[in-house]
Structure 1
Amino acid sequence: MARRRVRYSDKDNGSIILRIMCAVVFCVSAFLYLFVYQQDVIALRLSRLFDGDGYYVPLVFSVFGVLACQVLQLVCLHVFRHEKPLCAVTYFPSLALLWLIAEFDVSDAGGWAVLLTLVLMPFVLMFMLGRHGFFMWQVRHVRTLSRRMWINVMFLSAGFILISCCSNYDDVMRFRLKVERMIASGRYDKALGAGYYAADTDASLTMLRIYALSKSNRLGERLFGYSLSGGSGALLPDGKDVKFLLLDDALVYGYVGLDAAEYRGFSALKHRFFKEKGCNGPLADYVLCGYLLDKNLEGFVKSLLACGIKDFSSLPRHYREALVLYCRTRSGHILTYKNEAMDADYADMQALGKKYMLSPKERHSAVKDAYGRTYWYYYYYVN
């Protein structure tokens, strides 16, 4: 008996193309959402869930997350099997799953609103389709560049935009999470690159950058190239305003040779520093930068002399900038330092500030553009 050849209509072929296109768009977008955008957030959530003992491999987790969402979509596709032209709606429960994984907070009313929107969206769209014929069914078949194809892609894109915009974590939190993960893996260069050009910061992010710079032997060279906050109180975690999200406080305390129990602010660091009579390890840089963060040039100079440094020309950039500022602004100073290039730059910065004396905003902007990564800018323009 001869087997009859099955012929697929253009409509069947169109439905297959539509499903493939939606699957490709969703899987690629979901992978990027989990692996790139939410990688650090998921690390935090798993760390809290397992009390810091969770083992998180971003690539593996992202792949399994996308597979779980695709399985859920296949279930939804069976439920809405009679509404094939709007294939994108079957992915909205999968978008809700992505939101649950990365962003959902039980105590957040906004999170519940987003979750309900994603879950109920398929039913709302199906109602509109059945009641009003919607606006897309004028196109008879689904072709590669058809109107129906792009409407489905548009709905998927709108869903990803919704869950990306309704985030529970601001930029500073994401910077902190990335820096901590990079520090944990010893990739200090990548840690220092997180949010380098961003103006937003907080004391905890400042503490993380100080630690990463010190581990890279660039603390006195690059610290004031970042937006900073918290003064000397941001040197070490205090469990309140300055704290880790993923790492342990003992990591930094052990690094500077201080016990967490004896830490009582910057004074504890200064006491340990002078007790050891001018150590040259990380503690020395922490104390020197602590004075600079507090704009205490006298304390900085005294601590610098306690280190027994004779050749000031070999000091890191920000230390030399502080010495130029000290010699220019203090009378009866206990040391003399001259650097022709830096003296000229300092004079140019002062002249630039006087040029816009009648417009504080323009003066601030002009000086920041030219000298925003110097200690001088921090001293005069950062509160």
Structure 2
Amino acid sequence: MRRDYSNHKNGTTTVKVACAVCFWLFSFVWLYAFQADVLAVSQHILSDGATHYNRSLGAIFITLALYLLQLVVSLILRQSKRSYALTYLPSMLFLALISDFNFDDHLDYSLGDWKWLIPLVLLLWGACVWLSKQLLTFENQNNVNNAYFSRDVWQNVLILLVMVLFVTFSTNTNAVFHFQAHAETSLLHGDDDEALHVGAKSLETNASLTMLRAFALSRKGEMGEHLFEYALEGKSTDLLPLKDSQSRLLLLPADSIYKHLGGRPKRPIDVWQYLNAVERDSFATRAVADYVLCGFLMDKNLKAFAHALPRYYEISDSVSLPRHYQEAMVMYRSIQGDTVIARQDSLVYDQWVAIRDLKKQIPDKSARRLRALERHRGSYFYYYLYK
């Protein structure tokens, strides 16, 4: 009898160790690799910027706290080894909850769908716990296999896998929100390249992400060269988090952008009032030039762009303009009928003619847009004609 008890105890220990290892691995990787930026934004908003989230320490301490919660639950429920993984449900539920913070347009916290999801999950969990205890009498205590490939171990691993899928699919999967959170975190650490890399190939974007990409490119001095290579949303008024702008910052201080351009506005003004003010008061940095020119291009105001360009860049055959400025000038001159000058930049002009003439070659609008996306995405021509 003592031997049977010892084997049963060893089998239970094996199940507990296997469950703990699976939980620690998933929780740490999930928090460290996939949710760190979202948690950083959430902590910043909830603490009004008073505290900052640390990726490594956060993953360790949150996982430890959730594991301690599981130990308390296991002491209360005293589940059999065949359904021991059920004791991890409260921890997994809390992990899902903190991974899915919901904020409204004013950055106020809201439970969202969790108002009804939490009670429902707990109700289902309670039913499973009760059912497992009813089936306890059918458990053969003498049929023990304490190996890590036993039926009991894999049965518990399967239960944990269901919980992992629940956490994965119930949390914030908004790609643009993750892009923005990661971009702001990268900019905060001075990593402009990483901020530009995140979501670079995706067509999903918003005005805030456009603002962040413009800021990162401006710090690298490449705004006029690469801005329209990204999917953009919004107009010039969204380039800064000012009055009448759809852009908003989650983590990055607005002063970081204002300092880069020349100074913080003293009162609520829109983007063009701000840019004009810093130039008028001689506070403008070199970066303001690209904000002005790219602002006109985002608004598709080629005439204003063409008139403003000589204020900031020398227009001559010996000076090469940034790529998007070249494209805009070729397009403007062509539209104005000045094709002789436009053709001087032959490669750019040929690309403009190719995308312009797609309308004659492909009557169907959807098919034409797809062809333009495949061949001309990343050019200002594509943005002007198809955005």
How high is the TM-score relative to the length of structure 1?
Answer: 0.87
Larger displacement relative to structure 2 (160-169 or 70-79):
160-169
Matches of 2:268 and 2:340, distance apart in 1: 30
SS of 2:180 mapped into structure 1: helix
- Aligned counterpart, 1:182: 186
What amino acid sits opposite 1:298 in the alignment? K
Matches of 1:301 and 1:57, distance apart in 2: 47
- Please list the CA deviations of residues 308-332 of structure 1 after superposition, one character each: whole Å capped at 9, or x if unmatched: 5134652111111112211222236
Residue from 372, 375, 385 that aligns with 1:380: 385
Q: How far 1:207 moved relative to its partner?
A: 0.8
- Report which structure shows greater RCO (CA 8 Å, sep ≥6): 2
The answer to whether structure 1 residue 151 and structure 2 residue 151 are counterparts is: no
Matches of 1:180 and 1:118, distance apart in 2: 34
Larger displacement relative to structure 2 (107-116 or 204-213):
107-116
Residue from 44, 49, 52 that aligns with 1:52: 49
- Aligned counterparts, 1:93-108, within 5 A: 93-103=90-100, 107-108=110-111
Contact residue 353 and residue 367 of structure 1 kept, 8 A: no
Matches of 1:179 and 1:55, distance apart in 2: 16
Q: How far 1:289 moved relative to its partner?
A: 0.2
In the superposition, relative to structure 1, how do residues 170 and 97 fare at CA in structure 2: closer, same or farther (>3 Å)? same
In the superposition, relative to structure 1, how do residues 55 and 264 fare at CA in structure 2: closer, same or farther (>3 Å)? closer
Q: How far 1:368 moved relative to its partner?
A: 0.4
- Aligned counterpart, 2:105: none
Matches of 1:118 and 1:235, distance apart in 2: 43
- Aligned counterpart, 1:123: 126
In the superposition, relative to structure 1, how do residues 7 and 136 fare at CA in structure 2: closer, same or farther (>3 Å)? closer
Q: How far 1:33 moved relative to its partner?
A: 1.7
In the superposition, relative to structure 1, how do residues 213 and 81 fare at CA in structure 2: closer, same or farther (>3 Å)? same
The answer to whether structure 1 residue 199 and structure 2 residue 203 are counterparts is: yes
- Please list the CA deviations of residues 160-193 of structure 1 after superposition, one character each: whole Å capped at 9, or x if unmatched: 2222322356222221111111111101111111
Larger displacement relative to structure 2 (252-261 or 268-277):
268-277
What amino acid sits opposite 1:323 in the alignment? M
In the superposition, relative to structure 1, how do residues 99 and 56 fare at CA in structure 2: closer, same or farther (>3 Å)? same
- Aligned counterpart, 1:321: 327
Residue from 330, 336, 346 that aligns with 2:336: 330
In the superposition, relative to structure 1, how do residues 115 and 136 fare at CA in structure 2: closer, same or farther (>3 Å)? farther
SS of 1:145 mapped into structure 2: coil
Q: How far 1:108 moved relative to its partner?
A: 2.7
The gaps in structure 1 that reach 5 residues or longer are none
Identity %: 31
Contact residue 137 and residue 148 of structure 1 kept, 8 A: no
- Aligned counterpart, 2:106: none
Q: Number of aligned pairs? A: 376
- Aligned counterpart, 2:273: 268
What amino acid sits opposite 1:23 in the alignment? A
What amino acid sits opposite 2:55 in the alignment? P
Matches of 2:38 and 2:332, distance apart in 1: 43
